[in-house]
Amino acid sequence: MTQRPYHIDVMISAKAIAARIEDLARTIRKEYPDTDKLVVIGLLRGSFVFIADLVRELDMNVEVDFLEVSSYGDGMESSRNVKIFKDLRGDIEGRDVLVVEDIVDTGHTLTSVMDLLRSRHPRKIETIALLDKPVRREVDFKATWTGFEIPDAFVVGYGIDFAQANRNLPYIGTVVFDDDETA
Ligand SMILES: O=P(O)(O)OC[C@H]1O[C@H](OP(=O)(O)OP(=O)(O)O)[C@H](O)[C@@H]1O
Ligand SMILES: Nc1nc2[nH]cnc2c(=O)[nH]1
């Protein structure tokens, strides 16, 4: 399938993201005062940039693990069918856990991931999402901490893809189709 031509407008700069992550890391540190080693779980693939920056700001002992899930494939619409492609390496029973996500949109991904992870009986489990698009929600889900609330626009960059491209942009941008602008 040929891709409709598009460009990307900057929505949140790399500098604004870095400043927000410093704030979030301070808040999280205070939320886990008695934790020996926090298990920080990144949801692949979208969260790989966010988790890398977040853990380097977290002034505490952490263990990093990943769960690979996907429901969008290469499209712009959720399939509402959250598939697990790769499970955690570690056991989270009795552990303090933080789940790191790039974006909450319909809410299906984090709802289904949290159902799965809670069934493994962590001692405490919280969620952080860099972006939240509350107007698109289809299931009731709110992350414990959110970086930025954003309007209804398809975003890319900072780990987030469109058709497996643009994950390497250092900022968050919106996809604008060129033929929509001329219509
Ligand atoms: O709230 P939702 O509507 O469920 O959407 C959020 C999810 O969508 C994207 O994942 P995607 O399925 O595109 O996989 P990816 O992380 O590998 O890009 C994103 O990374 C979130 O995990
Ligand atoms: N690339 C991308 N993936 C998403 N998954 C859920 N919402 C979005 C979005 O706005 N952009």
Confidence (pLDDT) at 183: 58
Q: Is the CB of 71 under 6 A from ligand 1?
A: yes
pLDDT tens digit sequence for 51-74: 999 999 999 999 999 999 988 777
Q: Which run of H or of E encompasses 147?
A: strand 145-149
* Mean pLDDT computed over 86-96: 97
* Ligand closest in space to the Cα of 169: 2
pLDDT band at 3 (very low <50, low <70, confident <90, very high): confident
Please provide the DSSP assignment of 26-84 as one string.
Answer: HHHHHH-TT-SSEEEEEEETTTHHHHHHHHHH--S-EEEEEEEEESSTTSSS--S--EE
Q: What is the ipTM of this complex?
A: 0.96
- What are the residue boundaries of the structural domains of the chain, listed by start? 14-150
Confidence (pLDDT) at 59: 92
Strands 145-149 and 38-44: unpaired
Domain 14-150 = CATH 3.40.50.2020: yes
Query: Residue 39's closest CA among 78, 81, 74, 90?
Result: 90
Confidence (pLDDT) at 163: 87
- Helices 14-31 and 48-57: angle between axes, nearest 10 degrees: 60
Is pLDDT at 182 greater than 80 in this prediction?
Answer: no
The residue type of 75 is G
- CA pair distance 76, 118, nearest whole angstrom: 28
pTM of structure = 0.95
- Mutate which of 45, 49, 69, 71 for ligand 1? The one with the most ligand atoms within 8 Å of its CB, which is 71
* Catalytic residue, candidates 96, 102, 105, 132: 105
CA angle centred on 109, ends 101 and 71, rounded to 5° = 110
| CB contact at 8 A, 156 and 166 | yes
Q: Is the CB of 137 under 6 A from ligand 2?
A: no
Is pLDDT at 153 greater than 70 in this prediction?
Answer: yes
Confidence (pLDDT) at 150: 98
| CB contact at 8 A, 100 and 54 | yes
CA 103 – ligand 2 centroid, Å: 7
pLDDT tens digit sequence for 28-39: 999 999 999 999
* Mean pLDDT computed over 74-79: 80
Half-sphere exposure of 64 (CA within 13 A, CB side): 15
